[in-house]
Amino acid sequence: MSGDFKALSNKVYEALNSGNLALLDEVYAPDAEIHAAGRDFDRAGYKAFLQGVLNGIPDGKLEEIETFASGDSGCTRFVLTGTLTGKQTVWPVESKGQAVKIDYAAVGHTQDGKIKELWLFTDRLALMQQLGAIPAAVGG
């Protein structure tokens, strides 16, 4: 089963890099529970959230750093790079052409060949500093 998580993670990268979020229906179970950005989403809500990310960073690209899987569980680490230029409602800042590099980690469980539950983690402090929402650390 560990191959399922790796293959599903690759399908997520494909969906987001191509902008074809319909592919996510092949990845997440219809009753999937996704925990991201301090919120809980069902599959449709998570797709809407990701569309907001893609709207804000239209040139965004995901790159896998590493993926581990064992049994029905897995973890993947990846980075999203791009420029915040589009209309977005995900982050509390105005799009002004800010370059972003967002590091993520996701931990998930699969069931019947799809992701049933996922926890997505990111360094929100570093992101808000990149977006100019808060000052960067000085002298650190």
pTM across the whole model:
0.88
136 lies in a domain? no
Q: Which amino acid is at 60?
A: G
The mean per-residue pLDDT over the stretch 89-96 comes to: 77
- Is the residue at 17 inside a domain? yes
Examine residue 20 and state whether it is found in any structural domain, yes or no. yes
pLDDT digits (tens, 9 = 90+) for 64-77: 999 999 999 999 99
Q: Average the pLDDT over 102-130 and give the result.
A: 93
What's the CATH code of the domain at 90? 3.10.450.50
Phi, then psi, of 94 in degrees rounded to 5: -85, 140
Give the Cα separation of 6 and 74 in Å (integer): 8
Host domain of residue 117: 2-130
